[in-house]
Structure 1
Amino acid sequence: MTEYGARLSNSFHGEWELYVITDRMSLEWPEHSFGRTGPIPTLQERADALTRLGFVLADGAEWEWQESPTGVMDRVELLASATVQPKGGAA
């Protein structure tokens, strides 16, 4: 079954965005903007966004978090990643 990496990030304009890294060019990656800077999208909101994009979490996958300092005061960029697969197992 084909698997991809999903990313949840607040690095672009500070708003939360979820995107799926596929074998297409990055401009063609499926993406969903939550249209807000806070709070962090819940697990259910992330699952709903993935479903709208045609994906689901892979079996046993969990969201893993990373913090990256921005160099601006105490601000950090947050990045969560998880393994996903096409909804219904489609390639």
Structure 2
Amino acid sequence: MSRLTAQMSGDGGQWRLYVVLYGESEWPTVRFESGPVPTGADRREALAYLGYEVVPGAEWAWIEDSQKPFDDSTPVVLIASVDVREQEGATA
């Protein structure tokens, strides 16, 4: 099983969780309705729906960016990432 990266991003509206698949034009994605940051359980369920799981011992890391690169007067975009792997027995 190879290790991959899942990321989640949001700007105060809808949240999007996706698994980065290099060389692919479309990545497995789940969208959350607007509201608070999805909980750890919400993210785990979304990853399982996509056929992935957090690598044991891995933790979500958060950074912030701005909607327009290098313009800190624009709204903040939060981006989280974590190492994931395909779920055992998953067909991807």
Q: TM-score, normalised by structure 2?
A: 0.82
Unaligned runs of 5+ in 1: none
Q: Residues of 1 paired with 2:56 and 2:76: CA distance?
A: 30
Higher share of residues assigned helix: 1
1:81 maps to which residue?
Answer: 81
Amino acid corresponding to residue 19 of structure 2 in structure 1: V
1:50 maps to which residue?
Answer: 47
Aligned residues: percent identity? Answer: 40
Q: Does 1:18 align with 2:17?
A: yes
RMSD between aligned alpha carbons?
2.2
Would you say how many aligned residue pairs link Structure 1 and Structure 2? 88
Distance 1:89 1:24, change over 3 A: farther
Q: Residues of 2 paired with 1:66 and 1:24: CA distance?
A: 24
Unaligned runs of 5+ in 2: none
The alignment partner of 1:62 has SS state of coil
1:5 maps to which residue?
Answer: 5
Q: Residues of 1 paired with 2:30 and 2:78: CA distance?
A: 16
CA-to-aligned-CA distance 1:24-69 (integer Å, 9 cap, x gap): 4132x10000121x20000000000000000000121100000113
Amino acid corresponding to residue 33 of structure 2 in structure 1: G
